[in-house]
A and B are shown apart, each in its own frame.
Chain A
């Protein structure tokens, strides 16, 4: 049972809610075009996921964040269980064991769903462990273990994109929590020291080739450079006003790879041009800004950290995905939240916003009993 307090409705984050709905609508419109040539299957599925996501978002927003805080580590444990489960029973697609089938038409991707539990766990850990001083190297061991567990499991699938995002999101959070300068320097030195042997001994040839291709897409225009080139051609040829809805030759003739998922933004930029790309990014970044704003209005450390982690998640998804689409970063399998087709990533985004909405509603501390689930 959810106890309702009238104050909740007054302080509901309507602007964040509507911005999210608007971006979801934009995502659907874009997917309609991107999946038109393949029978709108992706469009229909994503419509279901987004509707479900909005419901979940609203429901989550009504859950008292104190409750979430209390069960943070339990949620984290479930997420870890799912990550192990997928490694054992998951379905292998294109060389990665990342999906748990929920029937013939639906599947979930535990690695996508693992990001929020990690954010919650890190926030919970910091909140209970807080001593008011920036982390030393020794202090970092525990949160590092919290991060390392899902990270290793994700990399075993292997799902490099999510692994990268786990590092970026948790890294952002830990930096936000505060790390001693000397510790930071040591960590940076170790990373630099390890990247050389990693390149030479541990990275697989296709991973190296992706990085090499990023540096020079024309190096291999038919294979690994193909996606990078076609995506940039799509974006660039959209010019200022775009080729028009459903009129993007790169997308309609399927020159853009994975155009319903990782490269959905290329379709948008091709058909709506700079104008469309600009407004889509603006909306997305406004959402992040609102999440950060919620963090700044919050009174308790846990909520601030959770909001910050969710903002970091949205932020890094955008930077890595759009950066890839427009040729600023190498190709990694990272979707743009909500815009890219994908049930798990969409649910993750919606749950994230739901949590933020919940925090925003309760910016005034309230008696715990009044909002507790029974």
Chain B
């Protein structure tokens, strides 16, 4: 018989070595790597469900809702829990009226990326669909109904140009702001964008214990390490806008392209800001579809541009207050100094025409403004010179952002340096002359014109327009938005008084260009403007070559409350087209005020 003793000893040694190996591995996993695996096991069983926080509302100055939220029931699928993709797709197809293959492809595509991430199949399903799905839910494994908040605009397109729109968060936005939700909606323009951080709520979450199949488990055993976080709704943003006035302004513009800005001259509050054409923000609430987006982007009328703050126009004659104030302050003219207007002005080889071909004859300062005599301003500007002139343009707020907060353009307050930098060319005297009547390189937004008008009206304070009055948190905590003014116009009070008086004449004098804005009970002051688009005489009949009609005004003239600036693109004469619109707004404003005062007194 073979002696097996030796081999048994070797076998025993192998046995012990194997034991040591297994136990060592246990030690490694459980003691050395134990904490790491423990965190894995916690992550394994806890599913975090986002609780979306409603976005803050946007309200008008009286607390009336401009933008609100409504619940949207969304259907999504968690691929890993789906038992039969084809059956599920077919069922959902019948209920939701979406092609079955589309649903299936979506689920399969999502499943390839991650079986643990839900994919949205349908957004904002209607009540009937919801009822059917709720009833059949148990036979649709993998289906989830999510309640999200969608933006709602109770007044349609009202204020869309400054309220802005929202859209799916982009890669860049996500990188810039890690607090954003990867599949959330974010403000893309206007108030929605600028006040994004206030409007956006703080999403909460609930942690749920799930088993390996993703089903929620109601067991107290693993409850102890569950953490929940309540969602905090976004802050309500209260605007300075008066919804009624806003509606009136938009109605006044009607089908015309252009903008109307109404400013409270005492504090810079933006009471109304209309821009036409505009867009429907409701198209954006679920994330805009590509075709609609392309249509908006390619629209030659630029409906997405807020003309009040982004529309750059030659201000034309509404600009004349600037050279006038500058010339007074610099001592170039005095109110009684007269210039003769023969209908044109010759500088070098070039002849600059007055809008009145026959000429105005002899004009003093007041008359020149009331009749908007171009030749008076040509002469004045020549004496003033571009250096001094451009200093005042800047002081009146041109060529720089107003600071309203939403998207705006700075426009151009031209100077020698500006031209040299922009065109690498020296400044010509003739360019000073056309600048005086708001033509040439000068460009401004309607809001800038309104802010200049407000400054003239309120005694010289160049205010920062205030669009947002306050933010109100869900807790009731209120943050008032204060905006420091830009400064004081570098002009004597007496000069401003003269200008105001002349502007009263524009509207109220028999020969004034702004008679269209005359009100019965309230004294209105204003200034018309007719900005040339392109000097192509032969084609003036074509609408797109017609002049832009301007009118800027304030009222009541002796105790100003509001400034109203109107621009109507290709509208023609400011006096006949823009001034009546301003009149309607002011009429409405004072009627409204009377009504409200009456209500207050009851």
Which of these, A130, A250, A304, A326, contacts B29 with CB under 8 Å? A326
Chain B positions 23-38 with a Cβ under 8 Å from a chain A Cβ? 23, 25-27, 29-31, 33-38
Judging by beta carbons under 8 Å apart, are A236 and B37 in contact?
yes
Judging by beta carbons under 8 Å apart, are B8 and A296 in contact?
yes
CA distance A233 to B44 in the complex (A): 9
Which of these, B4, B18, B41, B115, contacts A304 with CB under 8 Å? B4
Judging by beta carbons under 8 Å apart, are A254 and B25 in contact?
no
Judging by beta carbons under 8 Å apart, are B212 and A323 in contact?
no
Q: Is the interface of A mostly helix, strand, loop or mixed?
A: helix
Chain B positions 1-55 with a Cβ under 8 Å from a chain A Cβ? 1-2, 4-5, 7-8, 11-12, 15-16, 18-19, 21-23, 25-27, 29-31, 33-38, 40-42, 44-45
Query: A319: CB under 8 A from chain B?
Result: yes
Q: Is the interface of B mostly helix, strand, loop or mixed?
A: helix
Query: A295: CB under 8 A from chain B?
Result: yes
How many whole Å from A320's CB to the nearest CB in chain B?
A: 11
Judging by beta carbons under 8 Å apart, are A274 and B15 in contact?
no
Judging by beta carbons under 8 Å apart, are A255 and B211 in contact?
yes
Q: A233-B37, A315-B15, A327-B29 in contact; A254/B213 too (CB < 8 A)?
A: yes
Chain A positions 315-353 with a Cβ under 8 Å from a chain B Cβ? 315, 318-319, 322-323, 326-328
Judging by beta carbons under 8 Å apart, are B2 and A295 in contact?
no
As a 0/1 sequence over residues 261 to 291 of chain A, the CB contacts with chain B under 8 angstroms (1 = contact) are: 0000000010001100110011001001100
Query: A209: CB under 8 A from chain B?
Result: no
Query: B217: CB under 8 A from chain A?
Result: yes
Judging by beta carbons under 8 Å apart, are A237 and B34 in contact?
yes
Query: A301: CB under 8 A from chain B?
Result: yes
Which of these, B26, B38, B41, B222, contacts A277 with CB under 8 Å? B26
In the assembled complex, which residues on chain A have CB atoms less than 8 Å from the CB atom of B212? 230, 253-255
Query: A249: CB under 8 A from chain B?
Result: yes
Q: A236-B36, A296-B5 in contact; A278/B44 too (CB < 8 A)?
A: no
Judging by beta carbons under 8 Å apart, are A253 and B22 in contact?
no
In the assembled complex, which residues on chain B have CB atoms less than 8 Å from the CB atom of A274? 26-27, 30-31
Judging by beta carbons under 8 Å apart, are A253 and B222 in contact?
yes
Q: A176-B7, A252-B221, A308-B11 in contact; A236/B211 too (CB < 8 A)?
A: no
Which of these, B18, B22, B222, contacts A326 with CB under 8 Å? B22
In the assembled complex, which residues on chain A have CB atoms less than 8 Å from the CB atom of B45? 249-250, 253, 255
In the assembled complex, which residues on chain A have CB atoms less than 8 Å from the CB atom of B29? 232, 235-236, 326-327
- Complex: chain A residue closest to B21, CB-CB: A328
In the assembled complex, which residues on chain B have CB atoms less than 8 Å from the CB atom of A328? 21-22, 25
How many whole Å from A348's CB to the nearest CB in chain B?
A: 20
CA distance A319 to B14 in the complex (A): 11
In the assembled complex, which residues on chain A have CB atoms less than 8 Å from the CB atom of B2? 130, 132, 177-178, 301
Chain B positions 518-560 with a Cβ under 8 Å from a chain A Cβ? none
- Complex: chain A residue closest to B1, CB-CB: A301
As a 0/1 sequence over residues 163 to 179 of chain A, the CB contacts with chain B under 8 angstroms (1 = contact) are: 00000000000001110
In the assembled complex, which residues on chain B have CB atoms less than 8 Å from the CB atom of A190? none
In the assembled complex, which residues on chain B have CB atoms less than 8 Å from the CB atom of A304? 4
Query: B209: CB under 8 A from chain A?
Result: yes
Judging by beta carbons under 8 Å apart, are A326 and B26 in contact?
yes
Query: A151: CB under 8 A from chain B?
Result: no
Judging by beta carbons under 8 Å apart, are B41 and A234 in contact?
yes
How many whole Å from B179's CB to the nearest CB in chain A?
A: 29
Which of these, A238, A247, A255, A323, contacts B22 with CB under 8 Å? A323
In the assembled complex, which residues on chain B have CB atoms less than 8 Å from the CB atom of A277? 23, 26, 30
Judging by beta carbons under 8 Å apart, are A176 and B34 in contact?
no
In the assembled complex, which residues on chain A have CB atoms less than 8 Å from the CB atom of B23? 277-278, 281
Judging by beta carbons under 8 Å apart, are A318 and B4 in contact?
no
Which of these, B22, B30, B35, B36, contacts A281 with CB under 8 Å? B22
Which of these, A238, A278, A315, contacts B18 with CB under 8 Å? A315
Judging by beta carbons under 8 Å apart, are A239 and B4 in contact?
no
Query: A311: CB under 8 A from chain B?
Result: yes
- Complex: chain A residue closest to B16, CB-CB: A285
In the assembled complex, which residues on chain B have CB atoms less than 8 Å from the CB atom of A232? 29, 37
Query: A240: CB under 8 A from chain B?
Result: yes
CA distance A319 to B25 in the complex (A): 12
Judging by beta carbons under 8 Å apart, are B31 and A237 in contact?
no
- Complex: chain B residue closest to A237, CB-CB: B41
In the assembled complex, which residues on chain A have CB atoms less than 8 Å from the CB atom of B36? 236
Which of these, A236, A288, A295, contacts B33 with CB under 8 Å? A236
Query: A292: CB under 8 A from chain B?
Result: yes
Q: A232-B37, A278-B23 in contact; A253/B31 too (CB < 8 A)?
A: no
Judging by beta carbons under 8 Å apart, are B11 and A292 in contact?
yes
Query: A222: CB under 8 A from chain B?
Result: yes
In the assembled complex, which residues on chain A have CB atoms less than 8 Å from the CB atom of B40? 233, 236-237
Q: What 3 A-B pairs come out closest when comparing CB atoms?
A: A236-B37, A237-B41, A239-B34
20 residue pairs from A and B, CB less than 8 Å apart: A130-B2, A176-B4, A176-B7, A233-B44, A235-B29, A236-B34, A236-B41, A237-B37, A238-B34, A240-B34, A253-B209, A253-B212, A255-B44, A269-B30, A277-B26, A278-B26, A292-B11, A292-B15, A301-B2, A323-B22
Binding site for A on B (CB under 8 A): 1-2, 4-5, 7-8, 11-12, 15-16, 18-19, 21-23, 25-27, 29-31, 33-38, 40-42, 44-45, 115, 209-213, 217, 219, 221-222
